[in-house]
Amino acid sequence: MKSVEPALAEDTALEAKPSAGGNPVWLVLKERRSALLGLFIVAFFVLLALVGPTLAPYSPTVPSGPVYAPPSAQHLLGTDGSGVDVLSEMMYGGRTSLIVGFAAALVAMIVGGGIGLTAGYAGGGTDVALMRITDYFLVIPDLVLMIVVATVFGPSLSHVILVIGLLLWTTTARIVRAQVKSVRERVYVRRARSLGASHRRIVFQHILPQVAPLLIATTVLTIAYAIFDESALAFLGVGVPGVSWGTMLEHAFERTAMTEGAWWAFVPPGLAIGLVVVGCYLMGQAIEDALNPRLRVAHLSIHSWRIRRRPTADLEPVEGTA
Amino acid sequence: MSLLAVEDLHVWFDLPHGGRLHAVQGVDFGVDAGERLGLVGESGCGKTTALLALMGLLPPSAEVDGRVVVDGQEILRGGEDSMRPRRWTDVAMIFQGAMNAFNPVKTVGAQIVEPMEFHGIASGSEAKTRAGELLNLVGIPPAAAERYPHEFSGGMRQRAAIAMALACDPKVLLADEPTTALDVMVQAQILQLLVSLTHDLGLAVILVTHDLPLVTQVCDRAVVMYAGRIAEAGPVDTLFHDPRHPYTRLLFEATPDLTGDVEVVSIPGAPPRLDRELVGCPFEPRCDRAFDPCKVTTPALIPVAANHRAACHLNDDRAAVS
Amino acid sequence: MSAVVGERLLDVHDLVVRYPIRRGLLGAIRREPRRHVSAVDGVSLSVGPGEMLAVVGESGCGKTSTAQAILRMVESESGTIEVQGRDVTHLGASDLRPIRRSMQMVYQDPYESLDPRFRVRRAIEEPMVIHGIGGSAAARERLVLEALERVDLSPPDLFVDRYPHELSGGQRQRVAIAASLVLDPKLLLADEPVSMLDVSVRAGILTLLDRLRREGDMGVLMITHDLSTAAHFADRIAVMYLGRIVEEGPARQVIRDPLHPYTKALLSVVPKRDPRDRSEPQILRGETPNPIDLPSGCRFHPRCPVAEDRCRTIDPELHAPGDGGGEHRAACVLV
């Protein structure tokens, strides 16, 4: 009897996918320019929020100059309607906006991920019940509920985080559930079950790692929504007390910065919110794209295969082929 | 001159991470009206790629060289422009898994009519009548045209897929693993249908499969491909009883037979990667008859008997001795 | 008869597996009776030490459901499953664990049956971890390497640190088999173990299973649609049609001298290697009917080329021809 396909078969990489070894999220960031740009933007603002307050030239609450002073050497971004330095406000305010954004997204990830995982893995009645609840949350008009809750419970950092987080988990839950349902039916999961592996083991060893990249992608997208929601709440006056990009916009709006022509009072916070949202969106989208090859439609592109150009042969008379 | 002739066909793919894969490396074969040709080999040997090149259906990452002559006319070198009018009307293809590629919300009849209208072969009630005739031809009652794909069994869907490929009255039918997902009994029915189509319509059929017995039972001639090249080509009877390439012999030896008497032996190792230049015979590392020249020079595909070609140095040797 | 009489590894008696069909809301409101598909309808089979039984049939014949029921992945409606003489049909989860150790499954698709994130080492270690065996990490590592050697992946060092995507289909299937072997099973259930693999490596996997059962006295229940494979490697063959075994016997006799018209037809359509051996296939019309509406009498009679009137009413049992003492039995009134 002949021995079979031993060490020789090392040359079999023909069918191997190019690189599935490392962390897919990292690979995506490495390969996609847009994702890298997103990461750069978000990292910049995170860094600003971390070290900004120590660098801020003035207090973010106490006036340090005249009202609506245009950008100058003393006030690089001018002052706002109360004479507070805009740059200092930006640096302090970023902290609040980003903390709310990240923390609310984390809440959404834990709640949505947990519910999605439970529903998808348990299936049956549990699945139906949990998804029905998710549907109810999905149809509630977000902003209205946020305003109501924030007004009733009073505005505080933790309340705002919870309110936003508890409204944004639905998408995560649905996406995670769908993925878990498909992974659960994979043969290697069935195999582990037939071996007698515990549910805990199956969920944490086999299912969660497979769902994690998707969970990260949706969470990154959720950060964008959360930051946006925080600004909206602040703009409506029911946000986190203290300085945030949202309250800066609210103040600028209230104190007629627009009619005063004091663009420096509202452009920087508006731009910062926009940039962070776009940054998160770029990253999340890129990760999602990479995870879902069906979104890539190379084969349907209008370009077709090419015929090899023959440098000289075509010019010479073609010899008759027998 | 054959009805369809392929001459020196090459296909390269640009790899996403740089580099190129030489998937088809100078293949030539022809098929006559009413003839059935088998294209066999392990997965990754380039047989499906060669078919897609004949159909002009390769993705944008592909570059093609060579000649494809149908009815005396070269159709490849004009690129997509010269291919488009020929596709389905001259050369049609049944894709692997075609039976699962029907649109679930359209009736089978409507989907057979589509390519006819597309190519201006027939329209309206004429096309409908023709769809009924085609279904009848493949052994489905014409009335079933009004039914939806899910109402068809697997075997019926595969018949319908064949009817669809025949919609524009092609001269050559390419069938890529047309029976892989089917049960043996249904497989026998489909093969019987393909045989009768060559008799009744004078259709030329190219059957791509990894299953050698299918080819020996159904085809007149076969081309054995390995690593993007032709290893051996000839009448199926000669290939089985007098193989002149060890790969052909080993492939037969690896296939179990009902008699159960002969030991079945797998071929050690795996096909080589095609993204680098190969030195010597591509089969040399797995060959049980390899000798010195095989490591150095790539054997040319030479005639070893009438209608019988093989690319193996063992034949040089025999020629030298005799 | 084989030398090893005494204890059978697996004994299945009159196994019935039924799946309910969804009624839909309207059906539920109308209180229509719940309908069932009888996937397995009274199957009895047994596997002894060192023996390979091939269960052959077309899709939908119930062969996979039979294996699933034996593994207790689906519950059986009635019948008994005995593993090494012990009735496991109704064992609870905790009593089942040691039984699960002695029965291992090899799945059809080697691309799916290994967790893509687990290296070979971890994939083979996992069953030991689940069952709390193998001792220290170093001892387990040794067992992993040994298992790789047993499935001809040598030198094992070359393979332990690889991910599944770095292996060929045949190698993956070998790793999956190695992961079963570390539990030292008495019975291996192989569900179409080579149908997803390239022709060139199929023989290797089958030869490996063949060697393992001979060396280790392990019983193998192989599910396949391929009669040629069964003919080559199995000791006995059971042919299933619509949830029933219609013919059973020593492989050679079933292949050379089939009794049941269904087996005869199946054998006639298996493509032969030799082009000169183009016998006229006996192609049955239509496809296997839906197991929801089973035909009356013999369930094969609507497609049977030699059916008689009595076949519509008589539901034949498996029996041996003549005096009835033989090992080769078929469920047909004409036998």
Q: What is the DSSP string of C175-239?
A: HHHHHHHTT--SEEEEESTTTTS-HHHHHHHHHHHHHHHHHHT-EEEEEES-HHHHHHH-SEEEE
Contact between residue C194 and residue C234 where contact means Cβ atoms under 8 Å apart? no
Identify residues of C whose CB sits under 8 angstroms from chain B CBs: 58-59, 168, 170, 198-207, 225-229, 231-233, 251-252, 255, 265-267, 269-276, 278, 281, 283-284, 287-288
Identify residues of C whose CB sits under 8 angstroms from chain A CBs: 71, 73, 93, 96-97, 100-101, 105, 107-109, 112-117, 126-127, 130-131, 152-155, 158, 163, 165-171, 176, 183, 201, 204, 207-208, 211
Q: Which amino acid is at C123?
A: A
C203 to B260: CB separation less than 8 angstroms, yes or no: no
Q: Which residues of B touch C170 (CB under 8 A)?
A: 266, 270
B186 to C231: CB separation less than 8 angstroms, yes or no: no
Count of beta carbons in the 10 Å neighbourhood of residue A226:
30
Instruction: Return the structure tokens found at C103.
Output: 């029965």
For residue C282, give how far its alpha carbon lies from the nearest alpha carbon of chain B (Å): 9
Count of beta carbons in the 10 Å neighbourhood of residue A311:
7
Backbone φ and ψ for C245, nearest 5 degrees, come out as -85, 120
Backbone φ and ψ for C187, nearest 5 degrees, come out as -135, 135
Q: Which runs of consecutive H residues, i.e. helices, occur in C114-198? A: 120-130, 137-150, 157-160, 169-181
Q: Which residue of chain C is at minimal alpha-carbon distance from B220?
A: C275
Contact between residue A78 and residue A86 where contact means Cβ atoms under 8 Å apart? yes
Ranges of residues in chain A with a pLDDT under 70 are: 1-31, 291-303, 310-322
| Mutation target vs A (from C22, C131, C168, C180; most A CBs, 10 A cutoff) | C168
Beta-carbon contacts of C19 under 8 Å, excluding residues fewer than 6 positions away, are C36, C37, C39
The residue length of chain B stands at 322
C168 to A5: CB separation less than 8 angstroms, yes or no: yes
Inter-chain Cβ pairs, chain B and chain C, closer than 8 A: 124
User: How many angstroms separate the CA atoms of C163 and C123, rounded?
Assistant: 9
User: How many angstroms separate the CA atoms of B283 and B224, rounded?
Assistant: 12
Inter-chain Cβ pairs, chain A and chain B, closer than 8 A: 82
Please name the member of B183, B213, B265 whose beta carbon is closest to the beta carbon of C272. B213
Predicted ipTM of the assembly: 0.87
What pLDDT is stored for residue B322 in this prediction?
38
B63 to A5: CB separation less than 8 angstroms, yes or no: no
Please name the member of B210, B241, B258 whose beta carbon is closest to the beta carbon of C272. B258
Secondary structure letter of residue C21 according to DSSP: P
The reply to whether A18 touches chain C by the CB within 8 Å rule is no
What pLDDT is stored for residue C160 in this prediction?
93
In B204-263, the residues whose Cβ lies within 8 Å of chain A are 263
A9 to C163: CB separation less than 8 angstroms, yes or no: no
Q: Which residue of chain C is at minimal alpha-carbon distance from B219?
A: C275
What pLDDT is stored for residue A311 in this prediction?
58
Spell out the long-range contacts of A242-247 with Cβ–Cβ below 8 A and sequence spacing 24 or more: A242/A96, A243/A60, A243/A61, A243/A89, A243/A92, A243/A93, A243/A96, A244/A93, A244/A96, A244/A97, A244/A100, A245/A90, A245/A93, A245/A94, A245/A96, A245/A97, A245/A269, A245/A270, A245/A272, A245/A273, A246/A97, A246/A273, A247/A93
User: How many angstroms separate the CA atoms of B315 and B243, rounded?
Assistant: 11
Please name the member of A9, A18, A299 whose beta carbon is closest to the beta carbon of B270. A9
Beta-carbon contacts of A30 under 8 Å, excluding residues fewer than 6 positions away, are A36
Residue found under tokens 């040994």: C146
Contact between residue C39 and residue C73 where contact means Cβ atoms under 8 Å apart? no
C130 to A192: CB separation less than 8 angstroms, yes or no: yes
Ranges of residues in chain B with a pLDDT under 50 are: 320-322
The reply to whether B289 touches chain A by the CB within 8 Å rule is no
The reply to whether A1 touches chain C by the CB within 8 Å rule is yes
Contact between residue A161 and residue A100 where contact means Cβ atoms under 8 Å apart? yes
DSSP string, B163-191: HHHTTT--SEEEEESTTTTS-HHHHHHHH
User: How many angstroms separate the CA atoms of B195 and B189, rounded?
Assistant: 10
Burial of A142 (0-12, 13-18, 19+ CB in 10 A): middle
Q: Which of A177, A175, A182 is nearest to A220 (CA)?
A: A175
Instruction: Return the structure tokens found at A158.
Output: 């933790």
**pLDDT per residue of chain C (335 residues) written in tens, 0 to 9:** 344 445 789 999 999 999 888 777 777 777 777 788 889 999 999 999 999 999 999 888 999 999 999 999 889 999 999 999 899 999 988 888 888 889 999 998 888 889 988 999 999 999 999 998 888 999 999 999 999 999 999 889 999 999 998 888 899 999 999 999 999 999 999 999 998 888 888 999 999 999 999 988 899 999 999 999 999 999 999 999 999 999 999 999 999 999 999 999 999 999 988 888 877 888 888 788 878 888 889 999 999 999 999 999 999 999 998 776 789 999 999 98
Residue found under tokens 């042919």: C239
Q: Which residues of C touch A193 (CB under 8 A)?
A: 73
Question: A101-122 in b/e burial notation, b at 16+ Cβ within 10 A?
Answer: bbbbbbbbbebbbebbbbbbbe
Secondary structure letter of residue C319 according to DSSP: B
Query: Whole-angstrom distance between the N-terminal and C-terminal Cα of chain A?
Result: 47
B60 to A3: CB separation less than 8 angstroms, yes or no: no
User: How many angstroms separate the CA atoms of C211 and C151, rounded?
Assistant: 10
What pLDDT is stored for residue B318 in this prediction?
59
Q: 3-class DSSP state for residue C258?
A: coil
Contact between residue B87 and residue B56 where contact means Cβ atoms under 8 Å apart? yes
User: How many angstroms separate the CA atoms of B33 and B203, rounded?
Assistant: 5
What pLDDT is stored for residue A5 in this prediction?
37
Neighbours of chain B (3+ CB pairs under 8 A): A, C
C166 to A13: CB separation less than 8 angstroms, yes or no: yes
Q: Which residue of chain A is at minimal alpha-carbon distance from C74?
A: A194
C101 to A1: CB separation less than 8 angstroms, yes or no: no
Q: Which residues of A touch B53 (CB under 8 A)?
A: 305
Integer CA distances (angstroms), A23 to A19, A43, A213, A291, C305, in order: 10, 20, 9, 12, 59
| Mutation target vs B (from C154, C199, C239; most B CBs, 10 A cutoff) | C199
Please name the member of C130, C167, C211 whose beta carbon is closest to the beta carbon of A197. C130
